[in-house]
Amino acid sequence: MKPASSADSLSAISNYRFTNSSFLQEALTHKSYVNERRPSGLNHNERFEFLGDAVLSLVVSDYLASRYPELSEGALSQFKARLVSEAPLANAARRLDLGARLRLGRGEDLSKGREKASILADALEAVIAAVYLDGGLEASRNFTINVLDEELRYIDELQTRPDGGDYKTRFQEWCQKHHDVLPRYAITRETGPDHQKLFEVEVYLNDEACGIGQGYSKKEAEQQAAQRALVRVERGDDFPLR
């Protein structure tokens, strides 16, 4: 698969236009692509990923602390974890269609590397670094807040309505009305110590994944997965969706 290479196509989605497109090119170059072309003088995106992780952490921390001055450090840390972990970053990368834009080695491409959550999340961090190097901190802040809009709106809802809204019931009603089936939820990952375990849950419709959620309880993760599926329903997207 030949990746989409134009910085213009990304700017149309993200509302950021690169001055130096070489930053974006490096951010979208996976190590496997470089390894198959040695010696080529090409750089892969791991250094950008390192920098982007730091920029992302700063931007999200500043956003949360400014928006929710009444919250404790512990609550802010939990919200931050929901925003900067692999699943939400991969979801945001999918909305930007970063998978299609990646330069991957042939082996990684054949093994569906463009769909792997870890590669997508790392690529988004690298792109955040590219924006930072190209346009500075304020540009990277605006870019990050823009691409994480869906995740930030979910945090807002959690804060204004502690139950986060009954998204499971709403999605179940939609599934029954439009497909005459019930959605199915499955835990796909558990991370962290037992006293603060973070659950990742996928919701399925007719065995097709249509939303991923995270939370510090299974119920919370299921609610977020249903909420993300509903966002896509409201946008008129087709299933299956991630």
Tokens standing for residue 88: 């939400």
73-84 and 149-160 helices cross at what angle (nearest 10)? 150
Is 122 annotated for ligand binding? yes
Burial 196-209 (b: 16+ CB within 10 A, else e): eebbbbbbbbeeeb
Closest CA to 93 of 242, 203, 222: 242
Those residues with Cβ within 8 angstroms of residue 235's Cβ, 6 or more apart along the chain or in another chain:
none
Those residues with Cβ within 8 angstroms of residue 102's Cβ, 6 or more apart along the chain or in another chain:
3, 28, 29, 30, 113, 114, 119, 123
* 138 flagged as catalytic: no
The DSSP letter of residue 41 is -
* 53 flagged as catalytic: yes
Is 234 annotated for ligand binding? no
Is the C-alpha dihedral spanning 149, 155, 160, 163 positive or negative? positive
Catalytic residue among 26, 53, 151, 222: 53
The reply to whether omega before 39 is within 30° of 0 (cis) is: yes
Catalytic residue among 26, 108, 109, 125: 125
Is 125 annotated for ligand binding? yes
Alpha-helical runs (H) found in the chain: 7-14, 21-27, 31-35, 46-67, 73-84, 86-95, 98-101, 106-110, 117-135, 137-147, 149-160, 167-179, 218-235
**Numbered residues of the known binding site for Mg(2+):** 49, 122, 125
> Which residues belong to the active site?
53, 125
**Numbered residues of the known binding site:** 49, 122, 125
